[in-house]
Structure formats: structure tokens, C-alpha cells
Amino acid sequence: MPELPEVETVRRGLTCVMEGATITRARVNRPDLRRPFPENMAERLTGRRVQTLRRRSKYILAELSSGETLLIHLGMSGRILVSGDRMGRFVHDHPAPQAHDHVVFEMDNGARVTFNDPRRFGLMDLMPTATAQAHPLLAALGPEPLGNGFSEPYLAAALHGRRMPVKAALLDQRIVAGLGNIYVCEALHRAGISPRRAAGRISARRAGMLVPVIRDVLTTAIAAGGSSLRDFRQADGELGYFQHSFDVYGREGLACRRPGCKGTVARIVQSGRSTFYCKACQR
């Protein structure tokens, strides 16, 4: 599933063709994805100007001139691709329709924005902009890891007393929003913290050290266009490249990349997910 860097990469790719532009025609080609589409979604989007595009956790939020906000989640295999931009930012001609092109936006600047999702685990919803933060998918989210609310004192307090493994705590979207399996594995390796260690047994000092490490991992991944493991593509169809910089994720049995460490990367399963770490240098 795309994590924060992948979603932010897509949002940035969409901004230059959607923000400030009008949806001249919206096409909805099926009644649902993971859940039913909002009633009359195509009609509610057609003719509306996209005032701003922002991201909250793993969701893209398009605020519309109608006073509604379109919420988009990519799910497991969702892609949003842009073609035909007359301003020259996207040079791809409009492709022939594909079997899994479920939602298509024709923009007044000549761009076409297509949501393609073979496995149909993505979703879209419409909500009043004024109360968007109360939406059930957004209301309980923790602070953004790249925002001011995610600080050293905050994380130390959030982990204090918790018996769950620190990896599980960092994946809890109520504690910090947007982190997923890949980037938690990478951040814990850089911080030298075992993913098996109980969150409450991490000192305030070490918890505080995690904050800049998490931010650095995410910032570097965004700069690389995210990670492409199976389905992820940027808005221009290109792959992300951060997977070439993984220190532990997917590297089971290979040498640890920490300078001076002679350990090898191990794989364990935590809460049904693969965890990659080095037993020698992560304590």
C-alpha cells in the first residue's frame, strides 16, 4: 500500500495540473471501489474548480469551489495518472481507456486525470470542506510526521507506558499519521532501535532521537519519488526510486549497511507484516 512519501509524490504531481483548474467533465465508470462512491459523484464534481490539493496521512484531499472536499485513497494498487497537459508539464498523449480506469477527470487546461485501480481497494468520498477533519477516516489521525505537532516530547509521551512493540506503535495511525511498514523499518534501523522492543521501554532520549530520523527518511523518500515495489507510479507514470536506497527492507540475509556492523538483515513477522532489521546493531 502506498505510504506517506508515495501519496505526497502523487499529490505534488497533481498540483500543477489540478490546482486552480476546473473539472469540465467527471466520469465514474463503476458504482464502487472498496466502498460505494458518493451519490451523484460525477455531477457533484463536474464544473467545479479545484481550489487546493493537500495531503492528510495517506489521503489526498481536493478542496472544491462547491464547498466540498474530495477524499482519495489509493488503496493497494491505485494509480492516478496525468496525460495531455497543454502546458507541457506532462507530455503523454491521452492513452486508450484501460479496463480498470474507474474515475476520469477532464480538466479545462487539457489534462486528463485517471484513477486506475485493478484490485479496487482504493476509495473516494465527498464531504463538506468546513467539517472535513471530522470525517471518520480523518478524525482520529495523529500528527503528521513532517509537521510541528510531531515533536520529541510528543513522541516520548506517546510511547510512554505502552507494551506493544515500537514498530506496532509507529504504525498506529492514531499515534503518528502516514507511516507504513517500509519507512518504519528503515527509520528504526537508522535509529538503532529493535522493532521488537516494547515502546514503553524506550527512553525519552531515544524516542526523541527517532523524530528527526523519521523525518529524514520520509524527506529522502519523497525526493526520490517514493518507492515502487509492485504497482506504484508517480503522476507522470514514472517509477519511484527510493527502493534502491533501502538499508533493511526486503534485504533478508544480506549484510547490514551500517558502517562497521558485521550483522545480516533478518526478517520476522509482526502483526501479520514482514519486519526487516539487523539483530546486531538494533537494540
Active-site residue, 2 included: yes
Catalytic residue among 11, 48, 56, 58: 58
Active-site residue, 262 included: no
Catalytic residue among 12, 34, 206, 273: 273
Beta bridge partners of 70: 62, 126
Active-site residue, 273 included: yes
Catalytic residue among 2, 5, 145, 195: 2
CA angle 225, 271, 267 (to 5 degrees): 65
Which residues, 6+ apart, have CB-to-CB distance to 234 below 8 Å?
Answer: 9, 10, 13, 225, 226, 240
Positions annotated as catalytic residues are 2-3, 58, 273
